[in-house]
Amino acid sequence: MAPVDLTISPWRDAAACLANPDVDFFPPREDTLAIARARAVCAACPVADECLNWALLTNQPDGIWGGHTVKERRAIRRTWLEESQRAS
């Protein structure tokens, strides 16, 4: 298995959130309006896939990453780990 690069900087420079400092990417889980605002920025982000993969690999416990909430990431991660185990 190839080593995984967990550094954030290679893709972070192109992150759309850098140009949207007023948007909260770590809103309370019940704040659906703030979550929708963050998702809208992520939807237009050129590095959303890299962001989501990084959040999955590092198991980020909070925030919106790649347009996904922590609950959504947990579901993706669970499926991803199950598929990895089946493949090995």
Task: Give the interface size with ligand SF4 as a residue count (CB under 6 A).
Answer: 14
In single-letter form, the type of residue at position 12 comes to: R
> Quick one: three-class SS letters along 26-57?
CCCCCCHHHHHHHHHHHHCCCCHHHHHHHHHH
Q: Phi and psi at residue 68, in whole multiples of 5°? A: -120, 140
CB 86, min distance to ligand SF4, A: 28
Stretch in the footprint of ligand SF4 (CB under 6 A) among 2-10, 11-19, 28-36, 69-77: 11-19
Instruction: Look up residue 20 and give its amino acid.
Output: N
Stretch of residues binding ligand SF4 (CB under 6 A), selected from 1-9, 13-21, 69-77, 79-87:
13-21
Q: Restricting to residues 32-61, which ones interact with ligand SF4 according to CB under 6 A?
A: 41-42, 45, 47-48, 51
